[in-house]
Structure formats: structure tokens, C-alpha cells
Structure 1
């Protein structure tokens, strides 16, 4: 059988080319999964005049994409079961591009369009860890993808004002611009293969296609049976860790610029520091998954990050305005490391590709549903208390809970989808077929 033939140097070269292509496509996908959120956060003060949004709805707007994340998480695995992983991600990105245009060009569609954008982002996002796991991607793969998330967040926040100026002051054009890279990523991740497919047999009796590289490409994601994820303690610990770090992230990105302006900074400086928050964290989002691949480091890193986030939050609260560049940068480093570790835990704490896909849907789905409370809760606490001290102290207490979740996530058994047959890590997801 072709799939069982001994590897040759030509096969290895071809397989390596496919791996590089998949990784490049995944990085571009990751870059497109945050600008829809951070572009709006960076111009929150302009939305009322530009789109007639009631000021009381601004906290809801900040929470909408995160709420959509939680609701739409099952859509990714479902689409992958129908289309294959690569085409499912491509379809989600095309919907994202449409939502980015509709929400700013169609009157009254800012909130519904933002919800649709969040739903499509999550449908694509939950497939990233599964594709990494299925292609035997290690810590560097996860790190590069998580760095892509951070880079996209930084570009969204940092370029929205320059784009608006370049487009003659058009805020709608600056927000809709991000549909272009989303369509490019959809093309790359769903690009057809260059050779005819040959029949092959994937593990678990799954129908498969064999591309020009000779790599097995499962055409459907098999369903698992056995102990459900909801009965596995490690799955809940990973979900709690992911949800708590996401709640902190979206609370910070939704209100950091507003908080900094209240401290006397100009709106442009506040938006710039929001972009700096993401840029400063890029190296950490890359290195955290790489370091987490070492068990001894992982056991220390998971609980320690939560405590560092708590300390950084209090630093931003207490530091004078002239030190906010430093403190926001430190917060960006530890917060981005937490996100990188959250993505890495999905890969590291799962038994195989299907388990990674199931754990990704559970942790990101429930986690982002929890995270939707972050922007709303921070905004409510600010209004209720009349200041920012209470929101920052509550977020710091939440970071302590993040440390507890990290401690539990790295000490339980691996999460298994409970399949009747062993999962094969050598079965890449059908990206670029």
C-alpha cells in the first residue's frame, strides 16, 4: 500500500514542504482571529458619534464577541466533520470577512455583525489546536500560532487610527479593511492540493485521502465514544484556566484604553498603549508554549503565571501615568504568556488529535462563555464604584483563581476522547487538500 511504503528522501522533503505550508497558513489564520475585537476596543469612544450607538450599549458591544465565542464553539468541529478541517476554517474566515464589512456598512448592524464576527472567529479558532496536534506540531507550532493571535490583536489596535487617517477619516473603512487579510487566510488554509488524491486508510476505519505528499488526510473527523470530557477533571481544569485567562484578557482590552484616558492620557496615547499591551506580549506568547513542553517547567509555570498577572494588574492600578508604558508592557507579557499556556495545555494535556479537538471545543467554548463576563463585569464594577480600584482588585483576585486552575490542570491524567481505538498522532488534519 502506498501509505505504508518506506519513507524516501523525496517523500520526506515533500512532507516537510506540506508541514511548512500548513504552519504558515495557521499563523495567518491566527493573525486574523483578534482584529475584529481590538479594532473596536481601540475606537470605543468614537462609536457613538460614528454609528449612533447608545453609550449604555458600549459594555454590551465589548462583551458580544466573547459571548459569541462561547456559543459558537461547537460549530468548528461540526463544520470539520462536514468539510474537513482546512475547508471548515476557510469557510469560517469567509463568514468573518462578510461580518466585518456588514457591521460597519449596513445601518444598525454593528452589534449583530460583531456577534457574527465573534461566532466565525471561534469556529476557526477551536480547530487550530487539533490541526497542530494532528500534524505533530510541538511547542514552536503552538507558540507561533499564539503569537499570531497577539500580533493580530496588536495590529488591530495599533493600525485602526492610521488606517482611519489614510482613508480620509473613514472609521467604517478602517474597520472593514480587515476583511481583506481574512479572505487571504481563507484562501491559503483551504487551498486545494496540487496532485490527485489516492485512496488510503486512516486509523479507526476513517475514510481518508492521500495528497501528493503521501500524507494521510482524513476526510471526516471520527466521532468518539467512551467517557465524556465533562466527566474528566483535567478537562475542567484546562477549561477553567483558559476561561479565566480569557476573561482577564477581554476585560483588559475592553477597558484599558478608557482607564488610561481617565488617568490623564490622550485618547491616541491610550490606544497606543493598548497596542503596546499586545506587542509586548508577543515574545511571551511564542516562548510560553515552548517552555511548557518541558514537564518540570510546566508544573511551575501554570500556577506562577496567575500570581504574576495579579501583581501586574495592581502595578497598572498604582503606577503613575509616566510609568504606565512599563507597567502595561509587563501586564502584556504575563497576560500573553497565560494565553500561550492556555493554548499549549489543550495540546499537551490531550491524548491525541481527536481529544485535542474535543478539549479545544470544550475549553474555548465554555471558557469564552465565562470570559464574556469580563468586559461586562469590569464595566459594571466601574459604574457601581465610581472608580477603577474595585475592578482592578477583583480582576487581581480572579488571577489568583487562575493560578489554582493552572496547578490542577498540569497534575491530572491526560484528557482522552475515549475512542475505542488508539489515536494516531501521525494523521495530519486535512489542511490544504
Structure 2
């Protein structure tokens, strides 16, 4: 077997394109909520609007997760990536120019339409361009996403104080716009190398096959047929539940964690914001080690168990001992749920044989997972209003970790979805 070629050889643009795309996904999500109070000084942003904004990301991700494979089949993965990043750019600039809550909502919806498509495309892009370096590239791209999760909350308010909230919201569009350039150059360059020319090697779980990056194999079954097959494979649902658990923890935390800490521990808003950044920061080291541990050492189950149990311990600490002196410990433990996000993404890449299957699996898993994530931020708010406290909402969040625990164990099986189908039903 031929060893993996150097990461940068012939693939500099692909590396830059993937990293800029990854950075844009989380910065677009995390950059708005810190400056909502400043936006409210210009025009009214009601609690209902804030609730809709909190639900928009996972809802858009679920919808566009379903649509993305159909669009990718018609347009190609690179062209659709350009469209997705363009939508993010336009949406970020659009909501920075909003003059009322409606404009803010429309701009946010456009942002998350683009992010929803890019979410689905990133794992297949890694598989397509870096079949010989899946572990390394998944580490780099998930680390970039983790970095772009905790940086915006730290910078948003200081930048808004210095230059206004509109600039604070719009400045993240520069990264999405920059991400368009590498993919445009690769599409327009006549001597562009074949995307999947690399041969899978020791840090990949795929077989030695070369695939086209510009479209599906001509003999591949239709998306609808393959989606129907995926829905009949228990491994796929296990992956969806694992991803959904990670996303639920993230969007519940972004929406409610500062309020929970302020109400239960009596900390001020600045301290709550710092603790949210601490929670998000834990995802950075997790994203650096998880892909390597999964791809090279098949550590899926130990990582899932450790992340889930640590998160449960953190939630219990917040419920039972919400004292300021211990909040850093509870937030660190709860932050270890960040292990599940890179874990789910790398499994999408290595639990399929081809980039085309990875697109469909990514779509199915993320769409199903984001349905769960779209429900819980609103449910937490409803439970809080109904009970007047945070204990029941936190118990509901903890229940997600408990109920999806068996799914994480199933996701640790070292087989592809095609293997599972063929074992049960015959030829894929």
C-alpha cells in the first residue's frame, strides 16, 4: 500500500477552504447572543424573537441537512460549498444592517441556511480530498470549529463597545467570504488535481478506491433509495442519536446556561459569560485528541462513556452545589461533553466507504440530530416557565445523556453502514 502523501502537496487550497469553512460555522452561531442587549438599544428584540433565534440554528440545520444531498448531486460538492459560504456571508452582513427584529430574523435564517449546508458538506469534503489523512484533517477542522466557538463570545462585546454592534456582528463575514476563494479557484483552475487522488493509508478506515469529487458515481442508486436504506440500519440511528446528544447540549448551553448560572449561583452576567466560554473552550483540546484516538486507536466507546458521564457529573454539580467557588469545576466537567461532537463527525467519515455515501450519511445523521437539538432549547424554556426553577429543565437535559447512552455504544462498532446493510440485506 502506498503511504500517505504530505498534507499540503497539491492540496493547499483544499486545506484553506476546509479550515475557513469550519471557522465560519461556529463563529456565525456564537457571535450574536453576546450583543443582543446592545441591539435592543436600537430596536426592540422581544423574548419571543430571541426564542425563535435560539431555535433557528438546529431547525435550519435539520431542513437543509435533508436538502443538501439533492443539491450536491446536481451541483457538485465544491460548487455547493461556495453557495453555502456565500449565504453565510450575505446573512451575516444582512443581519448587521437590520433595522428591526424582522430583518434580524431574516438575516439569521440566511446565515443558518448556509451553515446547515456546510455542516453536511465538511465531513465528505475531508473524505474526498484527504482520504489518506482523515484523522489529521478531522483533528484540524474540529479544532478550528472549537476555536471559533469560544472566541466570538470573548470578542463580541469589546468590539461592539469600540465600533458598534453592527461591526461586531458583520466582521465574522470576512472569514466566510475568504472561504469562498479557495473553492472558486479550484473550480476554475483548468489543471486542478483530482480531489481524491490520495490513497487511503493507516490513519483511514477506508479501502483503496479512488472516487470523483465532482459528482456521484454514475451507477450509484438514487438519494431517496439510499436514504430509505440508511433508515433501516441501526448503526445510522446510533450515530444520529450520538450527534443529536452533542448538539442538544451545545444549543441548550448557548441559549440558557448563562441564565441558569446567574439564577442558581448568583454570579453576574460577565462571570456567566466567562463560564460559558470556559465550557466552550473544553471542546478545543477534545477536538485535537478525539479524531486521532478514534481513527488510530478505535477508542470510540471509551471516549463516549467518559464524555457522557463527566457531563452528567457537571450537571449534577450545577443542580446540587451551585456555589460560585465550584462553578469552574462543574463547567469543566459539563464541558467534556464536547468530546461527543468531534467523535460524531469523525464517525460520519469512517463509517462509510465512499464520499458519496458520506454526504448522505452526514445529511441523515445531522438532520435527525438537529431535530432533537431544535426541540430542547424551547423545551427548557417551557419547563422553566412552568416550574419557576431550573431543576426540572436540568433533569430533562441530563435525561438525554442517559437515554442516548446505548446509542453511543452501538456507534462504536467498527463497521461501515454498507457493511451493515450487506450483512442484513445483501448487496449495497
Query: Same fold, TM exceeding 0.5?
Result: yes
**DSSP 3-state at the match of 2:417:** coil
**Which among 316, 319, 330 is matched to residue 318 of structure 2?**
316
In the alignment, does 2:145 pair up with 1:149? yes
Give unmatched runs, 5+ long, in structure 1: 1-6, 204-214, 424-433
> Deviation at 1:72?
0.8
On the 8 A contact 2:195/2:212 being kept in 1, the answer is no
Which piece of structure 1 moves more, 357-366 or 346-355? Answer: 346-355
- Give 1:231 shift: 1.4
Q: CA deviation at 1:193?
A: 6.5
Counterpart of 2:239 in structure 1 is: 238
User: Cα RMSD over matched residues?
Assistant: 3.0
Aligned-partner SS, 1:240: helix
TM-score between the two structures when normalised by the length of structure 1: 0.83
* Inter-partner Cα distance in structure 1 for 2:40 and 2:333: 32
CA contact (8 A) 1:74 1:123 kept: no
Higher relative contact order (CA 8 A, sep 6+): 1
Q: Which residue of 2 aligns with 1:183?
A: 177
CA-CA distance at 1:12 after TM superposition: 5.6
Cα deviation for residue 362 of structure 1 reads 0.5
Q: Map 1:39-188; keep pairs closer than 5 Å.
A: 39-107=31-99, 108-134=102-128, 135-136=130-131, 137-167=133-163, 170-188=164-182
Assess, with a 3 A threshold, how the Cα gap between structure 1 residues 189 and 314 changes in structure 2: closer, same or farther. Answer: farther
**Unaligned runs of at least 5 residues, structure 2:** 198-209
Asked whether 1:353 is paired with 2:347, we answer: no
Q: Which moved more, 1:34-43 or 1:223-232?
A: 223-232
Distance 1:353 1:63 in 2: 30
Contact kept, 8 Å, 2:28 with 2:111, in 1: the verdict is yes
Aligned partner (choices 254, 279, 282) of residue 281 of structure 2: 279
Look up the match of 1:331: 334
Structure 2 equivalent of residue 4 of structure 1: none
Change (3 A) 1:199 1:292: closer
Residue 404 (str. 1) matches residue 406 (str. 2): yes
Shift of 1:376: 0.7
Pair 1:62–1:298, CA change in 2 (3 A)? same
Deviates more, 1:342-351 or 1:319-328: 319-328
